């Protein structure tokens, strides 16, 4: 975002210098502060939502047995075909025992979805390139694939159930869209919403006075 804002600054003729505590703030620094500030606020909201859900639900991770090593012999008749509630973990690592109950939703999925969806929308609104128009879309595709790769890795390493990953990704993407569109109330949802939404967002973001 810093690089894109610098390129955007170099390609823009009109610049507004802001004053903070009697000091003039460079337009590029001011724009970066506001864009990254909104990004950081949304990231904090997304992470807080994820943590509240994790500690409220307490769903066991798929690798629960490998971490816990319960003192139950499932081959015995008394333990067959029944839900076992009373058991003790042989593993004494308190950190791992606590972490094994934080499966839902996936924090990695929500974080990667939020950051990458925000960047996809940001690139659509602010990335200016005189060459091939496909460069912007290629960068957006890379962002999307990084988010997807992170989400899929949480399933393949048995750290999360697929539903944990899905809900985490949806939550992160939703926060990204809300943070971009609603603070300035210039967004209307249609099938071609990105240009209208993000252009209004960035105009409001970069011209609102504090």
Hey, which residues are catalytic here? 108, 160
Angstrom distances, CA of residue 200 to CA of 139, 147, 153, 203: 22, 26, 35, 5
Cβ–Cβ < 8 Å for 172, 143: no
Query: Burial, 109: exposed, middle or buried (Cβ in 10 Å; 0-12, 13-18, 19+)?
Result: buried
Element (H, E) at 171: helix 162-181
Cα(169)–Cα(141) distance, integer angstroms? 16
Cα(181)–Cα(28) distance, integer angstroms? 22
**DSSP assignment string, 41-66:** HHHHHHHHHHHHHHHHH-PPPTTHHH
């Amino acid at each position: 975002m810093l690089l894109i804002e610098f390129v955007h600054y170099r390609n823009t003729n009109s610049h507004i210098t802001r004053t903070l505590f009697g000091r003039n703030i460079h337009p590029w620094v001011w724009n970066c502060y506001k864009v990254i500030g909104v990004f950081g606020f949304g990231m904090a909201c997304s992470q807080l939502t994820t943590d509240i859900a994790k500690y409220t639900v307490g769903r066991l991770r798929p690798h629960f047995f490998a971490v816990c090593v319960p003192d139950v012999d499932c081959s015995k008749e008394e333990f067959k075909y029944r839900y076992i509630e009373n058991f003790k973990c042989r593993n004494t690592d308190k950190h791992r025992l606590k972490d094994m109950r934080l499966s839902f939703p996936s924090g990695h999925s929500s974080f990667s979805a939020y950051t990458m969806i925000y960047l996809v929308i940001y690139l659509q609104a602010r990335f200016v390139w005189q060459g091939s128009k496909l460069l912007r879309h290629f960068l957006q595709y890379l962002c999307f694939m990084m988010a997807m790769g992170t989400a899929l890795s949480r399933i393949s390493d048995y750290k999360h159930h697929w539903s944990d990953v899905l809900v985490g990704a949806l939550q992160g993407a939703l926060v990204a869209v809300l943070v971009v569109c609603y603070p300035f109330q210039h967004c209307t949802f249609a099938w071609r919403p990105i240009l209208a939404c993000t252009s209004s967002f960035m105009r409001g973001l970069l011209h609102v006075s504090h």
